[in-house]
Amino acid sequence: TPAGVIRLAALLFMLLGTWVIIQTYFDRSWKTVSLRSWLGTQAPRHECGNRKSCPSDHFAFRLISGAANLVGPSICFNDQILMSNVKNNIGRGLNIALVNGSTGQLLKTGTFDMYSGDIKLLETFLTEIKTGTIVLTATFDDPATKMTDTVRTLFTELGSSFVGNLGFRDNWVFLGAKGLSAKSPFEEHIKNNKETNKYDGWPELLELEGCAPRKVD
Q: What is the mean pLDDT of the chain?
A: 87
Residue 194 inside a domain? The answer is: yes
Residue 161 inside a domain? The answer is: yes
Residue 42 inside a domain? The answer is: no
Could you tell me if 187 and 157 lie in one domain?
yes
The mean per-residue pLDDT over the stretch 113-117 comes to 96
Could you tell me if 22 and 102 lie in one domain?
no
**pLDDT tens-digit map of 76-104:** 999 999 999 999 999 999 999 999 999 99
How does residue 109 score in pLDDT terms, banded at 50, 70 and 90?
Answer: very high
Could you tell me if 24 and 61 lie in one domain?
no
Domain span including residue 152: 47-213
| Distance (Å, whole) CA 48 – CA 63 | 10
**pLDDT tens-digit map of 121-138:** 999 999 999 999 999 999
Could you tell me if 111 and 204 lie in one domain?
yes
Could you tell me if 190 and 92 lie in one domain?
yes
Number of domains in the chain: 2
Decide if 154 contacts 123 (C-beta within 8 A).
yes
**pLDDT tens-digit map of 139-162:** 999 999 999 999 999 999 999 999
Q: Return the pLDDT at 155.
A: 98
∠ CA 72-75-80, rounded to 5°? 130
Could you tell me if 51 and 30 lie in one domain?
no
Could you tell me if 57 and 21 lie in one domain?
no
How does residue 215 score in pLDDT terms, banded at 50, 70 and 90?
Answer: confident
Give the single-character DSSP code of 104. -
Q: Return the pLDDT at 186.
A: 98
Could you tell me if 14 and 101 lie in one domain?
no
Could you tell me if 150 and 195 lie in one domain?
yes
What's the 3-state SS for 147-205?
Answer: CCHHHHHHHHHCCCCCHHHCCCCCEEEEEEECCCCCCCCCEEEECCCCCCCCECCECCC
Phi, psi for 126 (deg, rounded to 5): -70, -35
